[in-house]
């Protein structure tokens, strides 16, 4: 999905892999299907409705929480990555009453790209993929953080009849 922006080489050369978290509450969240498609031996999860957040107590020398699927100097051991990992360095975020696609300022490979290249990737299918996932799994929408750069507003969020509902507004 992000091949035109990031290569496996970009990620393997990165000194500070995205799989290390200053705030452990930002560990990846998986759908039940994603959870069932990975080897979970020894891995803990926190259930959040119909989603499952990876839990880890492993910290690196910088004090960051390390994803248990990260193999140092190699990368992720998973063959099929969770949605949140697949779209990294993009986030689906709640910014005021809007749902936005934002990009992390912490990815060196993305920082080397033009805004046009980044926006083109979002508009050439990434936003459609994201909209499909968050309609089914609104729990994947995060609150805005990390000085993320908003690339696109994709909708509004409203409380309807006691349930969260996503209203597309493109």
Q: How is the chain split into domains, by residue range?
A: 19-80, 88-170
For residues 132-155, give the mean pLDDT.
88
Unique residue bearing structure tokens 């990992």: 85
What pTM does this model have?
0.83
Report, as an integer, the average pLDDT of 10-31.
82
3-state secondary structure of 35: helix
User: Is residue 65 classed as helix, strand or coil in its secondary structure?
Assistant: strand
Look at residue 162 in the predicted model and tell me its pLDDT: 43
Between residues 100 and 79, the one the model is more confident about: 100
Give the per-residue pLDDT at 62. Answer: 85
């Amino acid at each position: 999905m992000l091949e035109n922006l990031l290569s496996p080489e970009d990620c393997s050369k990165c000194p500070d892999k995205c799989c290390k978290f200053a705030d452990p509450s930002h560990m990846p969240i998986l759908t039940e299907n994603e959870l069932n498609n990975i080897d979970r031996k020894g891995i803990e999860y926190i259930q959040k409705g119909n989603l499952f957040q990876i839990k880890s107590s492993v910290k690196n020398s910088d004090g960051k929480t390390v994803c248990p699927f990260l193999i140092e100097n190699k990368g992720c051991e998973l063959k099929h990555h969770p949605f949140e990992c697949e779209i990294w360095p993009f986030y689906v975020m709640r910014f005021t009453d809007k749902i936005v696609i934002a990009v992390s300022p912490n990815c060196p490979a993305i920082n080397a790209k033009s805004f046009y290249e980044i926006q083109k990737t979002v508009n050439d299918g990434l936003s459609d993929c994201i909209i499909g996932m968050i309609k089914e799994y609104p729990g994947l929408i995060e609150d805005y953080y990390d000085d993320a750069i908003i690339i696109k507003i994709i909708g509004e969020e409203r409380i309807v009849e006691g349930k969260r509902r996503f209203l597309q507004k493109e």
